[in-house]
Amino acid sequence: DKALLERRSDLSVHSLKDMPMEVPEELPIVAFSKREDPRDVLVLPEGADNLDLSKPIGCSSQRRILQLQQMYPEATFKSIRGNVLTRLNKLDGGEYSGLILAAAGLKRLGLENRIYRYFEPDEIIPAAGQGILAIQTRAGEYADLLARLNSPDGALCAKTERQLASLLGGDCSAPVGCHAQLHGTDMTLYGFSGIGGVPRYGSVQGNRNDADLLVQQLASKLTITE
């Protein structure tokens, strides 16, 4: 952001799922990529053919952990940091039984062969914007270029998911999952909230032109009311 404001750079490209829900008005997100695979995946140590639950699963995301506990109640989890290659080195070094990562990152790095299992979006609901790249620049600049780079479907899903995440009270590190799937003129919107430590799931379906209404309907299902 500082580089953009000081005009040392013109565009910033981000993984949308890692961006704050609120961005500065002077540095808007102005284009969204076509979506890469949005799923979370399980990666095993090299040479392993099953998940050894005597060791912890490497995962630092509460969104993922709360959902995985429903699928693997006997599993333990241990935080892991670093870029993808650093995490893979720790996994292959014997510290963990497996890792939970985003499919998109592995595919973009040419490491799709390390994926042992894909979790479908209705099994583990992804983070808002997962698999989408976001382009940020100074307000009012590069409109023609960014219109050509923007994916209308990617933009619709991104904005819908981020709107739902904001209503659920989730920033990019909160235990909140939001995922929109498009089927022609229809949209299925999945939501997960682990805020307060209680997992809650929901989904709604309707016309893609009614995305705002779908967000409101699903948020009301997932929000804790006193």
Active site residues: 18
CA–CA separation, 56 vs 91, rounded Å?
10
| Residue in the structure block whose two tokens are 């070094």 | 93
3-state helix, strand, coil in the chain (%, to 5): 30, 25, 45
**Which amino acid does the sequence have at 173?**
S
CA–CA separation, 92 vs 220, rounded Å?
43
Q: What is the dihedral of CA 149, 182, 166, 143, to 10 degrees?
A: 20
Question: What φ, ψ does residue 3 adopt, rounded to 5°?
Answer: -65, -40
**Which amino acid does the sequence have at 111?**
L
Radius of gyration of the chain (CA): 18
The b/e string for 164-191 (b: 16+ C-beta within 10 A; e otherwise) is bbbbbbbebebbbbbbbbbeeeebbbbb
Q: What token pair was written down for 136?
A: 């940020």
CA–CA separation, 164 vs 128, rounded Å?
8
CB neighbours of residue 161 within 10 Å: 30
| Residue in the structure block whose two tokens are 């430590």 | 197
